[in-house]
């Protein structure tokens, strides 16, 4: 079986971690790169960043949050199932400083899954890694232990103060800057609005900041341009030229609008799937009652 899921684990509400057999992606993949997958026929192609690679086992790890029909289908899979189609590693790898630098990795929500490989690569190259992990609430914070294992310092923030510091990741980042910490580089991944404000926080201080962008993709190999973003006034394809770009030059507002374009269709697709699911449950229940 190709693309077999060897482990599936619930990390938080509607958030699953999958470890998948994909030897060539495990070998060739680097921090910051992504895969495109399809769960079923006639499913859509979605990009997911590689969270972890185990070269010895020949597996990759991805983390998916259920936001639409495809992620709903994906998160219903179990260990022993297979991913229908899995292509990668795609995109460019994170540019890792050669060592001796202080790097702050700022993640939010599902983006924390990608802080894990980024921090790992930064640390392995001999950099000092500070991770700031944000979540709405304690129960939604994922992969804290994994990130701690590869970071010199971890700051957790929650919107409601249920764990770590109460507040936003930008406040924690501002705190580090105010303390006089010399930050050589910042890298951020998470909701677009968060990345926008992380970049606004670092910009006045001239801290080079990379943002890992998550636009809509179709093929993910440079052929369609659905993922185009404006960086420094120029159109770039996130799938082949990214996904990481200079955050101070990125047009986040345009990205947010482009990400929202298909929201009505995504809702319709999800509603249709849930409706079918409810019908099935009702039918199962009726059959069970009849048999009783």
Question: Taking the complex as a whole, how short is the minimal distance between the CB of residue 213 and other proteins, in angstroms?
Answer: 13
Question: Taking the complex as a whole, how short is the minimal distance between the CB of residue 14 and other proteins, in angstroms?
Answer: 18
Extract the tokens encoding 278: 């409810």
Region 179-198 residues binding other proteins, contact defined as CB under 8 A: none
Does 261 bind other proteins (CB under 8 A)? Our answer is yes
Does 223 bind other proteins (CB under 8 A)? Our answer is yes
Specify which residues 37 forms β-bridges with.
Answer: 46, 86
Q: Of 5, 51, 52, 89, which one interacts with other proteins (CB under 8 A)?
A: 89
Does 14 bind other proteins (CB under 8 A)? Our answer is no
Q: Of 57, 136, 166, 272, which one interacts with other proteins (CB under 8 A)?
A: 272
C-beta atoms surrounding 136 within 10 Å: 13
* Residue 163 vs residues 151, 158, 197, 267: alpha-carbon distances, Å: 19, 6, 22, 32
Q: Of 139, 121, 66, 140, which Cα lies nearest the Cα of 131?
A: 121
Q: How far is CA 81 from the centre of its chain?
A: 22
Does 93 bind other proteins (CB under 8 A)? Our answer is no
Q: Which C-beta is closer to other proteins: that of 125 or that of 240?
A: 240
Cis peptide before 42 (omega within 30 of 0): yes
Residue pair 201/174 in contact (Cβ under 8 Å)? The answer is yes
Q: Of 52, 69, 123, 196, which one interacts with other proteins (CB under 8 A)?
A: 69
Instruction: Classify strands 165-166 and 153-158 as parallel, antiparallel or unpaired.
Output: parallel
- Contacting positions for other proteins (CB under 8 A): 24-25, 28, 38, 42-45, 69-70, 84-90, 218-219, 221-226, 228-230, 235, 240, 254, 257-258, 261-262, 265-266, 268-269, 272
């Amino acid at each position: 079986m190709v693309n077999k899921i060897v482990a599936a684990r619930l990390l938080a509400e509607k958030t699953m971690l999958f470890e998948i057999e994909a030897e060539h992606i495990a070998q060739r993949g680097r921090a910051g790169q992504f895969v495109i997958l399809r769960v079923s026929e006639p499913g859509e192609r979605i990009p997911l960043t590689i969270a972890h690679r185990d070269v010895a086992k020949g597996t990759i790890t991805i983390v998916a949050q259920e936001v639409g029909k495809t992620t709903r289908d994906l998160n219903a899979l179990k260990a022993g199932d297979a991913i229908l189609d899995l292509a990668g590693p795609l995109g460019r790898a994170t540019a890792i400083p050669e060592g001796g630098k202080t790097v702050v990795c700022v993640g939010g929500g599902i983006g924390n899954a990608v802080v894990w490989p980024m921090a790992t690569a930064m640390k392995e190259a001999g950099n000092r890694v500070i991770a700031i992990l944000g979540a709405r609430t304690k129960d939604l914070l994922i992969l804290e232990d994994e990130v701690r294992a590869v970071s010199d310092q971890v700051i957790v923030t929650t919107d409601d103060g249920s764990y770590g510091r109460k507040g936003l990741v930008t406040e924690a980042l501002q705190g580090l800057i105010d303390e006089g910490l010399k930050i050589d580089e910042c890298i951020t991944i998470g909701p677009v609005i968060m990345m926008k404000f992380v970049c606004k926080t670092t910009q006045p201080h001239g801290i080079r900041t990379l943002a890992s962008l998550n636009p809509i993709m179709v093929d993910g190999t440079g052929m369609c341009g659905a993922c185009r973003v404006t960086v420094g006034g120029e159109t770039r394809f996130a799938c082949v030229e990214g996904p990481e770009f200079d955050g101070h030059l990125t047009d986040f507002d345009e990205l947010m609008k482009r990400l929202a374009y298909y929201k009505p269709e995504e809702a319709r697709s999800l509603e249709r799937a849930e409706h079918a699911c409810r019908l099935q449950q009702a039918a199962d229940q009726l059959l069970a009652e009849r048999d009783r």
